[in-house]
Chains A and B, each alone.
Chain A
Amino acid sequence: MSESSESAASAPSTRSAVATILAKDLRIELRTLQSVPSMVLFSTTIYVIFRFGLDRTRLDGALAAGVLLVTVLFAALLAINRLFVAEREQGGFEAIRLAPVDGTALFFAKAGALLVYLLALELVALPIFWLFFLDGAAGLLPLLPVLVLLDLAFAVTGALISPIATNSTARDLIGPLILLPLLVPPMIAASAAGQRLLEAGGPSYDRYGTWLGVLGLYDLIFLLIGWAVFDFLLED
């Protein structure tokens, strides 16, 4: 029948499925404000704790990069823990299995949502960091590509590991436990680039391109891995 062949042809493409799920997630976030405001609050509190933990009021170089990146990492873990909670509680995993779309769409959409959350977080957390700890803002602009690539690393690995953690009995424990060692390489690259950019005497671009390359390579590899294996997390 021509009608059935037409309906098969009009099955949504992976791209439109990604866009739909991503839009759904961002709309939920806008209405409930579950993740991003908590991440901002959390980051600000972590800054205060670092101020006393390190007993420093101004930061530069490796210490500045470390405080900023570790804070973003911990804030990302908060969002990653919550990333698939709605899917588990309201049957989203079953729904994506029933829908005539590629299950990998869920992976790309979730990675995209996480990336948007992290960028939104940094939009607020980075100026606060500058206000609290930095003397000059010269290093912040070249720091942006580093942060974006690091966020992408968090987003891709987070979207891959989060459903594993969410479907286990030790949810909030398993996610960070697996993610922290997995995120050591991008943290190494981002700190190495960041500590030179935030130096007291003005930013230095020593091996800046190399570190961006390492971050980009990491992002690409984990994007491909997620693409290859994510489907197996949805089967039942």
Chain B
Amino acid sequence: MNVPLRALAFVTAVLIGGGFALVFLYAPTEADQGFIQKIFYLHVPLAIVALLGFVVAAVHAIRHLRTGDALHDARAYVSIHTSVIFGVAVLITGAIWAKASWGQWWVWDEPTLVSFLIVFLLYATYYPLRYAIPDRERQARYASVFAITAGAFVPLNFAAVRAAESLVHPRTFATADGGLPPTMMFAFLVCLAGIAALWWTLVRFELTAKRTSAQISRLRRALDGDVPAPGGGGVAARIAPGVTTS
């Protein structure tokens, strides 16, 4: 579990580099859509990893509520944070793909994209929620309740949006899976692994950065003795959860 961050970053670089090499050099160009279909290898893995990240956050949130350990809350926070950033990338790559293949920047007939937008809008409210609760311990608890509720909401939302669409429009644009030829599938899986590794690296990086800045401010307090720490708690206080446990 505790892979060194440096090694993790290296693996991520290899997987993403290798994945993109496969996408452009090895996987065949799709007959219908042509070159633009290559964005599929970026867009779909980003979406899958972002959604899994929300589920991971919900698991951390459950552990936080059960143990009261701030470290789990920090993990949930960083997971959601990274997934929301990935979510922005999903929506942008989705819009580009939609423009290129269907001529419009946004299509409401594509249930997966619409579901993703709704989930993204919900998780975007995680930040105003956290910053509107001054008490850190209560903030962590409320944020965990939110993360669990939203985590359960994700599959429900996808089911509802898909049900609404299949009623009016048949799914005309079958994405991925099913009929994907093995060469494309292989490139896709390497890209998926690469994006997942990137997610993990970013999460680990942010957690390490927080732990380090908390440690620095603690050392500084100890060193200065009488001088109060800047901003009452240093960098860690500014970023929502307090990660003082190492």
Q: With a CB–CB cut-off of 8 A, which chain B residues contact A207?
A: 167
Contact residues of A: prevailing secondary structure: helix
- Cα A128 to Cα B80 with chains together (Å): 44
Q: With a CB–CB cut-off of 8 A, which chain A residues contact B138?
A: 167, 236
Q: Are A229 and B148 in contact (CB under 8 A)?
A: yes
Q: Are B152 and A188 in contact (CB under 8 A)?
A: no
Q: Are B145 and A232 in contact (CB under 8 A)?
A: yes
Contact of A232 among B118, B141, B150 (CB under 8 A): B141
- Cα A233 to Cα B140 with chains together (Å): 11
Nearest chain-A residue to B165 (Cβ)? A188
Q: Are B160 and A182 in contact (CB under 8 A)?
A: no
Q: Are B152 and A225 in contact (CB under 8 A)?
A: yes
Q: Which of B119, B121, B125 has the most CB of A within 10 A?
A: B125
Contact of A181 among B121, B134, B159, B167 (CB under 8 A): B121
Per-residue B-contact encoding for A221-232, CB less than 8 Å = 1, 0 else: 110010011001
Which residues from 152 to 198 on chain B have a C-beta closer than 8 Å to any C-beta of chain A? 152-153, 156-157, 159-161, 163-164, 167
Q: Are B132 and A174 in contact (CB under 8 A)?
A: yes
**Interface presence of A32 (CB below 8 A):** no
For residue A201, give the distance in angstroms from its CB to the closest CB of chain B: 18
Q: With a CB–CB cut-off of 8 A, which chain B residues contact A178?
A: 122, 125, 129, 146
Q: Are A169 and B121 in contact (CB under 8 A)?
A: no
Q: With a CB–CB cut-off of 8 A, which chain B residues contact A164?
A: 129, 142, 145-146
Q: Are A181 and B132 in contact (CB under 8 A)?
A: no
Q: Are A181 and B152 in contact (CB under 8 A)?
A: no
Given contacts A164-B145, A178-B125, A225-B148, contact A185 B133 (CB under 8 A): no
Q: Which of B128, B146, B156, B161 has the most CB of A within 10 A?
A: B156
**Interface presence of A83 (CB below 8 A):** no
Which residues from 107 to 125 on chain B have a C-beta closer than 8 Å to any C-beta of chain A? 118-119, 121-122, 125
Q: Are B149 and A160 in contact (CB under 8 A)?
A: yes
A-B contact pairs, 20 of them (CB 8 A): A160-B145, A160-B149, A164-B142, A167-B142, A168-B129, A168-B133, A181-B118, A182-B122, A184-B160, A185-B156, A189-B164, A192-B163, A214-B160, A214-B163, A218-B160, A222-B149, A228-B148, A229-B65, A235-B141, A236-B138
The 7 A-B pairs with the shortest beta carbon distances in the complex, nearest first, are A185-B160, A168-B132, A181-B122, A170-B132, A181-B121, A177-B125, A188-B164
Residues of B within 8 A of A (CB): 65, 118-119, 121-122, 125, 128-129, 132-134, 138, 141-142, 144-146, 148-150, 152-153, 156-157, 159-161, 163-164, 167
